[in-house]
Structure 1
Amino acid sequence: MYDTILYEVTDGIAVLTMNRPDKFNAFTAKMNKEITDALKQAQKDSEVRCILLTGAGRAFNAGQDLGEVSDGNVDFGGFLRDRYNPMILQFRKTEKPIIAAINGVAAGAGMSIALACDIRLASDKASLVNAFVNIGLVPDSGGCYFLPRIVGIGKALELAMTGEKVPAEEALRLGLVNQVYPAERFMEEAMAYARKLASLPTRGIGLIKRTMYKGMDMDLEQTLEYEAYAQEVAGSTEDYQEGVRAFMEKRAPRFTGR
């Protein structure tokens, strides 16, 4: 179905693998569009309750394939507006949990796409590099939005201005990633994490995602009102009713994502 990515649904998890291992999964125009389309597909598929994004081979994603922009005659603004911005916005619009399984280096826009995911898991051999400064550019693909919100403005500026490589354990300490697993069992652990999320109330998680992200850009009064709206929606779901029944019956809930 796709040329630059692999897409497979198993156990309620849509596994989206960036598949240009000979180029360290660097972005091309086609990959940008295929990732955007795959996220839309996963959002519409009721069987999908979690999305896991990873890379084939040794890298997660090395950023933009510079072969596409090496002629020096690039409309960078148009380039981002046409290709990267719609892709990054789709991560936010997709109201299912999205995990970045960072199996190797995530550099430049590859780091940005990892930051756009809701949860980041890293192999102990992985690293993140805000590499834009190394070619005189500015972090894009949401890099200037996500990074300071995750690590704070001071550390974000340091990472962006120096292009410093952040190994997995340091990324964990900074809060750039949520968990670090040994490389030899990384995908096994990442899939186990995804299965756990896939077993939870999918619509409730989607509302958590939407409300928490909105709350980052609203004041307290606006956030309280939006929480009230979101709770009205969550309270009408089948999973809420199942959760209450399970609590009253002293058993584990069996959520269906509806």
Structure 2
Amino acid sequence: MENKHIIFEHHSEEVAVLRINRPEYLNSFSHEMIIDWYNALLEFKEDNRLKVLILTGTGKAFSAGGDIKALSSGDGFIGEAKEDLWSNAVKRKASLWENIQKIPMLLEEIDKPVIACINGDAIGAGLDMALMCDMRFCASQARLGEGYIHLGLVPGDGGSYFLPKIVGVSKALELLWTGERINAQAAMDLGLVDYVYPAEELFEKTVEFANVLCEKPQNALKMIKRLVKNHDKISLRNHLDMVSSHMAVVTDTHEYIELLKQMKSSKKPE
């Protein structure tokens, strides 16, 4: 699927790439983009041939977040929404829920790995979209920051939910309160990104890691993601109950049975 603001393509039979494609506006979000972004995620979720999704941007930025021009004109930071959709508090709330907030809700349902390949600056909602991914590979020249405070706004897409889970409450408050932009190395030191590479190596390194994940037992990989993503939402008792259920299932899969056979056959007799 290819269109003006989102490019969704199969990099290989098992790895998909979702590319934010609005470089003239530093990949800031538009209404059209959000719709196509959601549809691309749905396609990835439902295509059993695809095992890993890489999210990246076109041009020099990953994403500058919300469309500031649209915001200042009263059209709302989700892009070219009609003015009447942003004209009062109730409609602004509904506009967020029915548009950009659909992205994190759908991502939460996807058990397959989603990796952010942060090719350039990731600001505000652009950073938040990277935080929603399972891992983050970042270009060494990229800057990252939460810019909402400079406009007197709160994170509209879930950034205040994801950021403290990654860097802790106090550091999340500092980044959100100050709107400070930090470099890639500082972001890695905080745990905000997982790997930093020169820009010319970044995408290749991200694909290499995606290919490693493609080689793993997929049922176990998906269930591990479910367990980790839910670790702080349920009690230990419920978590262990969930673990035992998942263990019972994965040990009955073809993947497990084949790997067990391989392990037994590789053992040398004493």
> Which TM bucket (shorter chain)?
over 0.9
Whether the 8 Å CA contact 2:137–2:194 is kept in 1: the answer is yes
Q: TM-score, normalised by structure 1?
A: 0.93
The answer for the alignment partner of 2:78 in structure 1 is none
The answer for the alignment partner of 2:8 in structure 1 is 7
118-127 or 201-210, larger mean C-alpha shift: 201-210
Written as runs of structure 1 = structure 2, the 5 A alignment for 1:84-163 is: 84-163=100-179
Distance across 2 between alignment mates of 1:13 and 1:115: 20
- The Cα shift of 1:39 comes to 1.2
% of aligned pairs identical?
36
Alignment RMSD: 1.5
Q: TM-score, normalised by structure 2?
A: 0.89
The answer for the alignment partner of 2:80 in structure 1 is none
The answer for the alignment partner of 1:37 in structure 2 is 39
Which sections of structure 2, spanning at least 5 residues, go unmatched?
75-82
Distance across 2 between alignment mates of 1:53 and 1:160: 23
- The Cα shift of 1:136 comes to 0.6
Distance across 1 between alignment mates of 2:202 and 2:159: 25
Give the partner amino acid of 1:36.
Answer: Y
156-165 or 223-232, larger mean C-alpha shift: 223-232
116-125 or 30-39, larger mean C-alpha shift: 30-39
Corresponding residue SS for 2:64 = coil
Whether the 8 Å CA contact 2:2–2:9 is kept in 1: the answer is no
- The Cα shift of 1:118 comes to 0.3
Give the partner amino acid of 2:186.
Answer: E
Corresponding residue SS for 1:247 = helix
Does structure 1 residue 207 correspond to structure 2 residue 209? no
Whether the 8 Å CA contact 2:145–2:179 is kept in 1: the answer is yes
Which sections of structure 1, spanning at least 5 residues, go unmatched?
252-258
Written as runs of structure 1 = structure 2, the 5 A alignment for 1:218-237 is: 218-237=234-253
Distance across 2 between alignment mates of 1:20 and 1:230: 41
Corresponding residue SS for 1:81 = helix
Corresponding residue SS for 1:64 = coil
The answer for the alignment partner of 2:77 in structure 1 is none
Corresponding residue SS for 2:100 = helix
Corresponding residue SS for 1:54 = strand
Whether the 8 Å CA contact 1:62–1:109 is kept in 2: the answer is yes
Give the partner amino acid of 2:42.
Answer: K
1:46-83 CA-partner distances (Å, limit 9, x unpaired) = 22010000000101111011233323362431221011
Distance across 2 between alignment mates of 1:164 and 1:86: 27
Distance 1:133 1:182, change over 3 A: same
Corresponding residue SS for 2:16 = strand
1:198-252 CA-partner distances (Å, limit 9, x unpaired) = 221222221111121122211111111111122222223222122212322339x
72-81 or 55-64, larger mean C-alpha shift: 72-81
Whether the 8 Å CA contact 2:65–2:125 is kept in 1: the answer is yes
Larger Cα Rg: Structure 1 or Structure 2?
2
Distance 1:194 1:153, change over 3 A: same
Corresponding residue SS for 2:240 = helix
The answer for the alignment partner of 1:181 in structure 2 is 197
Whether the 8 Å CA contact 1:2–1:34 is kept in 2: the answer is no
136-145 or 102-111, larger mean C-alpha shift: 136-145
Distance 1:189 1:77, change over 3 A: same
Distance across 2 between alignment mates of 1:64 and 1:162: 18
117-126 or 232-241, larger mean C-alpha shift: 232-241
